[in-house]
Amino acid sequence: MDVLKVAVIGCGGISNVHLDSINSSKQARLIAVCDIDQERAKEKAKMYQVPYYFDYRQVLDLELDAVHICTSHYTHVEIALAAIRKGIAVLTEKPMATKLVDADAMIAAAKDSQVPLGVIFQNRYNHSSIVVKDIVETSQLGKLLGCRMAVHWFRNDAYYDTSDWRGSWITEGGGALINQSIHTVDLMQWIMGDVESLQASIANRGHRSIEVEDVVEASLRFKNGAVGSLYATTCYSYNADILLEIHGELGVAIIEADQAVIRINGEPAKIIQPSKDNQFLGKSYWGASHGTQITKFYTSLLTKSPVEIDGKAGRKALEIVKAIYYSGDTGQAVTFPYQEDLGFLPNPLTPSRKA
DSSP state string for 119-181: E--GGGGSHHHHHHHHHHHTTTT-SEEEEEEEEE-B--HHHHHT-SSTT-TTTTSSSIIIIII
Give me the amino acid identity at 261: V
| Residues 26 to 65 in contact with ligand NAD, rule: CB under 6 A | 34-37, 40, 56
- From 4-12, 150-158, 229-237, 256-264, give the range in contact with ligand NAD by CB under 6 A: 4-12
- According to the binding rule CB under 6 A, does residue 70 interact with ligand NAD? yes
**Alpha-carbon separation of residue 279 from 78, 242, 286, 294 (angstroms):** 32, 18, 11, 13
Question: Which residues does residue 252 pair with via DSSP β-bridges, in sequence order?
Answer: 247, 263
94 sits near ligand NAD (criterion: CB under 6 A): yes
Site for ligand NAD in 175-204 (CB under 6 A): 179
Q: What 3-state class would DSSP assign to 75?
A: helix
Q: Which of 4, 6, 50, 120 is the binder for ligand NAD (CB under 6 A)? A: 120
Residue 71 CB, shortest distance to ligand NAD, in Å, is 4
Angle at 294 between CA 277 and CA 50, to 5 degrees: 110
The reply on whether position 151 binds ligand NAD by CB under 6 A is no
Contact segment (CB under 6 A) with ligand NAD among 66-74, 130-138, 144-152, 338-346 equals 66-74
Rounded least distance, CB 36 to ligand NAD, Å? 5
Our finding on whether 68 is near ligand NAD (CB under 6 A) is no
Please report which residue ranges of the chain form alpha helices under DSSP H.
Answer: 15-23, 38-48, 56-60, 76-85, 100-113, 127-137, 157-161, 182-192, 290-302, 311-330
Residue from the set 21, 71, 128, 327 that interacts with ligand NAD by CB under 6 A: 71
Report in angstroms how near the CB of residue 116 gets to ligand NAD at its nearest: 19
Interface residue list for ligand NAD (CB under 6 A): 9-15, 34-37, 40, 56, 70-73, 75, 93-94, 120, 122, 163, 179, 286
